Amino acid sequence: MLASLQYLLPWDFSPTVLAVCGLSAVLYVRGAAALGRNGIATAAWRSVAFFTGLTLGYVALQTYFDYLSQHMFWVHRLQHLVLHHIAPVLLVAAAPGQVLRQGLPRWARQRLVDPLARQGVLRHGLHVVQHPVIALVLFVGLIYFWLTPAVHFTAMLDADRYLLMNWSMALDGILFWWLMLARRQRQGGLAVGYGVRILVLCVAALLQILLGAYITLHDAVLYDVYGICGRAWAVSPAVDQQLGGLLTWIPPAMMSGLGVIVVLRLALHDSDRRRGRSAARAPGLPIAAP
């Protein structure tokens, strides 16, 4: 029992990850309770999506899984699938902005978060990185950048670069999938048309398929750092690379496919509403732009 508990302990303890995940969880619970007192129920599935996404991110970054990610290429690819795709999609699906905001103490909301959200610099910055073309370049570019063999080598040796790599994937994942999957009315001034979103998702899938296929089918070992530092268990470098390549190739493309289905559904829903044939919706939360 104790022996299995140690797998849950952080491999490289990061106070930042603990603080961000812990604080988000506390804010969400407080916010949902505060809204509940005002008669606004938070849909159960949203809470489930939020906590699943948060837990997956924490597990990927702060348990024995992190050790395996440092010493097995294919587990590393799985870690990034969670950080860059699965956890962000769940967090975006939960649309937790308003709940989290309600979870803040009144002073923090009024003096800290709301003025910060009105800050021009922040809003302009968000406008730049959330331009669909830039968002696409960032999303795919980060994957290509961290998988450049020389860059990957240093990221796996240097603890700081390793943290930077994982944080950049998680943050960019949230930004990208929010831009792709959030309802237009929740995106405010950043709203992107559904057609553009489908195009971006398809191009992202195509570029990830190309990279994944290249890694999977490449004969020579591309990432020798795992051999140098030792693998978590005995797997041949070729098999490790092929598995990692497949995880870069297929599941991300499937996530894009899923994204297209969600976008089509959003588009259908919006056009229904425009025609005034919208079914009575459960009282949703007006979610502001993050």
Residue 2 binds other proteins (CB under 8 A): no
Q: Binding residues for other proteins, how many (CB under 8 A)?
A: 20
Round to whole Å and give the CA distance between 102 and 29. Answer: 10
Residue 272 binds other proteins (CB under 8 A): no
Residue 220 binds other proteins (CB under 8 A): no
**Is the CB of 21 or the CB of 225 nearer to other proteins?**
225
Round to whole Å and give the CA distance between 71 and 148. Answer: 17
Choose the stretch contacting other proteins; rule: CB under 8 A; options: 42-50, 83-91, 197-205, 223-231. 223-231
Residue 23 binds other proteins (CB under 8 A): no
The secondary structure of 105-128 as a DSSP string is -HHHIIIIIHHHHH-HHHHHHHHH
Residue 9 binds other proteins (CB under 8 A): no
What's the min distance (Å) between Cβ of 236 and other proteins?
12
Site for other proteins in 228-267 (CB under 8 A): 228-234
Q: How far is CA 190 from the centre of its chain?
A: 19
**Do 28 and 99 contact (CB within 8 A), yes or no?**
yes
Query: What character string, x for contact with other proteins (CB under 8 A) and - otherwise, covers 143-162?
Result: -----------x-xxxx-x-
Cα-Cα-Cα-Cα dihedral sign, residues 185, 188, 189, 191? negative
What's the min distance (Å) between Cβ of 3 and other proteins?
13
Round to whole Å and give the CA distance between 36 and 153. Answer: 49
Choose the stretch contacting other proteins; rule: CB under 8 A; options: 67-75, 168-176, 204-212, 254-262. 67-75
Task: Write out the E strands in 26-173.
Answer: none
SS3 27: helix
Q: Return residues touching other proteins (CB under 8 A).
A: 11-12, 67, 70-71, 154, 156-159, 161, 224, 227-234
